Structure 1
Amino acid sequence: MTIDITDFFELRNRLPVVDVRSEKEYAEGHIRGAANIPILNNAERVAVGTDYKQKGQLEAIKTGFRLVGPRIIDIVNEAESVARERELLVHCWRGGMRSGNFCHFADMARLRTYQLKGGYKAYRQKALESFGLPFRFMVVSGNTGSGKTEILRALAAKGEQVIDLEKLASHKGSVFGGLMLPPQPTTEQFQNELFEEILKLDLSRTIWIEDESIAVGKIFLPEALWRTMSASSIVEVEVAKDVRVGRLVNEYGPADKMQFLAAMEKITKKLGGQHFNTAREKLLQGDMAATIEVLLAYYDKAYTNGMDKKQKRIQYKMSWDGKDASEFAAEILSVAGKAAVIKG
């Protein structure tokens, strides 16, 4: 049975999804939760593609049959291991031959399949469209070490809608942001994960999001979403520098010194040679607090310069001692709620 993308989103709440594209295609970007059972693996896909270019479509199809034939039993066994109650949602890139053949093999094994019309391409189209939706963002901003991510997660714990970009990107934004974290996903996979979070949102309500540059590590935010963020209201969190130093020491103190130094070398010019040498010396001496002090001289200046262009967007400025994020989140919500009442 063929289904459209709307039915796909409904059915996947109870049925498993199988992505029959090659391992490489899947790694570059896939639907959250989908199992990868390639109808053509990486090498086979290259072979079929080569024959298509050199010998034509018919010969390419024959090559595909020849390569897949010996593996049909393995494909069916994998499908059975994934299927709940012997039903599956299936897709390839465009909802064409690969998913069609997979469904044919599975159907012969008495598995009921639902083939996604338009395939993964239809899903990606919906994802890209979602980034231009009319989000009601409230952007949480503050100097490096202010605990913005911690505040966002405290807001989420109180039932607020939150998009945690740094969690999705597996990166904390600064040049040190990848330390002690798993490798970043591809930009395509990041977009897919972001889309999955967007699907959960009520667009009539406020969505809290951290103030980020357009790049989070190696990943670039979708331009449409970035434009909306850049025009949204800001709550600026003010935290004393000594508190921020302490928080950053706790955060990056366990990092490997040589990896931290390698990251620091990437901003040598921005720090200035003298400041870099001082920070390097303090780091190698094991004085992380002094190292962070030097680095904040650069990061605080960059933050101030950036905020000079955002003054008209600041709706609230709130001081925090950096201790109880849950309590501070409640304070933010109280201030925001009172402001909404007055405005109303």
Structure 2
Amino acid sequence: MVQSITIEEFLKLSDKLPVLDARAPKEYAVGRIPVAQSFPIFSDEERATVGTAYKQQGHDPAVLIGLDLFGPKMSEFVKQANKLAPEKEVLVHCWRGGMRSGAMAWLLDFSGFKVYLLQGGYKAYRQYIHQQFERPYKLLILSGFTGSGKTDLLPYLPEQHQQVIDLEGLASHKGSAFGSIGMAAQPSTEHFENLLGTELLKLDSTKPIWLEDESISIGRAQMPKPLFDQMQQSPVIVLQVPQKLRVQKLAEEYCRTDKAILTTAILKIKKRLGGLATKEALEAIETGDMEKMVEIALSYYDKAYTFELAKKQHVLQLELQSINPEENAAKVLAFAKQHQLI
């Protein structure tokens, strides 16, 4: 039996049932429902062939070409579905809930599966995700100069029953020229939005949600503007950590990084550093003087941070004398309670 369901129903069932994405691999790679498994009815090349036929010859000839491509693969699709869904109950979607997911749903239904088909397809999911960014949230922004340990203390907040979203973790980037070091490949902006929207759906929007202060771009991933605008208007707790500690922390981290990667990162900000500072930073990398390299880089990043902080509306400064993340998380929460933010 094939049952057509809404995106809300679809996502609720996705907690316990396999989700099969019938779109082409390229579409899946750009962005997907995070729990979905790629189950393409056509390869990228086959999709292009059917699409060209539709444009040049019309609907009916394109359908016949699609059936010629689909037919020989039907038994393999059923075998794969049996492995993925031994209970013979699945969720299926394509781009708009049209022919591709319809054909796959028919085949699996014919083969004894109970199939739930997403109304409006992935397009409906994307609209639903964008709606999450328009909702009002009680955001608390954790800020501070580069090296203040903001990211390090985030994991300790949920231990104290706080809601947290790690934007840099979702974007797989730390938000600077050095931000890709030690991180996995970044998702597209589309998929970053999907991951972020999924996290928001898990949380209670009436209770505080902690986010790290970010630019609208985190590497190549772009923040959704409605949510970014809310962040700009939300209370900001600025971690004031002595520069010496920040330099030591960053230098220790970069000691384990390949010199060529650090050189590339410095060259990305060459225009902002200026010729002499760039030359000195490159020499410091070559000689292994990571503290000097960090000090030079921070001369740029601290100025940029100060400029961006001036745009915030509600800023609270918290003086810290260590970079111990567990201790600092406790101090941040005490500070937030003191100022009636939580």
- Bigger shift: residues 301-310 or 112-121: 301-310
Question: Does 2:3 correspond to 1:7?
Answer: no
Alignment-derived partner of residue 186 in structure 2: 184
Alignment-derived partner of residue 335 in structure 2: 335
**Which of the numbers 94, 97, 100 marks the counterpart of 1:98?**
100
Kept after mapping to 1: 8 A contact 2:238/2:318: yes
Question: Does 2:78 correspond to 1:71?
Answer: no
**Alpha-carbon deviations, 1:124-164, whole Å to 9, x = none?**
00101111110111111100100111122221232211111
Q: Distance in 2 between matches of 1:299 and 1:338?
A: 30
**Alpha-carbon deviations, 1:18-51, whole Å to 9, x = none?**
1000000100100011111111111110010111
**Which of the numbers 297, 300, 321 marks the counterpart of 1:298?**
300
Paired residue type of 1:263: A
Alignment-derived partner of residue 25 in structure 2: 23
- Alignment partner of 1:236: what SS? strand
- Alignment partner of 1:135: what SS? coil
Kept after mapping to 2: 8 A contact 1:15/1:84: no
Paired residue type of 1:313: H
Q: Distance in 2 between matches of 1:64 and 1:36?
A: 19
Alignment-derived partner of residue 233 in structure 2: 231
Alignment-derived partner of residue 113 in structure 1: 115
Q: TM-score, normalised by structure 2?
A: 0.96
Q: TM-score, normalised by structure 1?
A: 0.96
**Alpha-carbon deviations, 1:302-344, whole Å to 9, x = none?**
222222333x411x32122334212221222122223329x9x
Q: Distance in 2 between matches of 1:128 and 1:167?
A: 20
> In the TM superposition, what is the alpha-carbon distance from 1:289 to its structure 2 partner?
1.1
Question: Does 2:287 correspond to 1:326?
Answer: no
Kept after mapping to 1: 8 A contact 2:149/2:323: no
Alignment-derived partner of residue 160 in structure 2: 158
> In the TM superposition, what is the alpha-carbon distance from 1:185 to its structure 2 partner?
0.4
Q: Distance in 2 between matches of 1:242 and 1:189?
A: 38
> In the TM superposition, what is the alpha-carbon distance from 1:84 to its structure 2 partner?
4.4
Gaps spanning 5+ residues in structure 1: where? none
Gaps spanning 5+ residues in structure 2: where? none
Identity %: 43
- Alignment partner of 1:188: what SS? helix
- Bigger shift: residues 295-304 or 232-241: 295-304
Alignment-derived partner of residue 135 in structure 2: 133
Q: Distance in 1 between matches of 2:273 and 2:240?
A: 23
Change (3 A) 1:84 1:327: farther
**Which of the numbers 253, 256, 280 marks the counterpart of 2:255?**
253
> In the TM superposition, what is the alpha-carbon distance from 1:181 to its structure 2 partner?
1.2
Q: Distance in 2 between matches of 1:126 and 1:258?
A: 43
Paired residue type of 1:271: L
**Which of the numbers 46, 50, 53 marks the counterpart of 1:51?**
53
Alignment-derived partner of residue 80 in structure 1: 82
Alignment-derived partner of residue 307 in structure 1: 309
> In the TM superposition, what is the alpha-carbon distance from 1:92 to its structure 2 partner?
0.5
**Alpha-carbon deviations, 1:81-100, whole Å to 9, x = none?**
11141100000111111111
**Alpha-carbon deviations, 1:190-217, whole Å to 9, x = none?**
0000011000111111111111111000
- Alignment partner of 1:340: what SS? coil
Kept after mapping to 2: 8 A contact 1:146/1:244: yes
Paired residue type of 1:295: A
- Alignment partner of 1:138: what SS? strand
Alignment-derived partner of residue 288 in structure 1: 290
Query: What are the residue-to-residue correspondences of 1:30-49 with 2, within 5 Å?
Result: 30-49=32-51
- Alignment partner of 1:78: what SS? helix
- Bigger shift: residues 71-80 or 326-335: 326-335
> In the TM superposition, what is the alpha-carbon distance from 1:263 to its structure 2 partner?
1.5
Q: Distance in 2 between matches of 1:66 and 1:81?
A: 25
> In the TM superposition, what is the alpha-carbon distance from 1:251 to its structure 2 partner?
2.1
**Alpha-carbon deviations, 1:238-290, whole Å to 9, x = none?**
10111001111122221111111012101111001111111111111111111
Q: Distance in 1 between matches of 2:229 and 2:217?
A: 13
Paired residue type of 1:54: Q
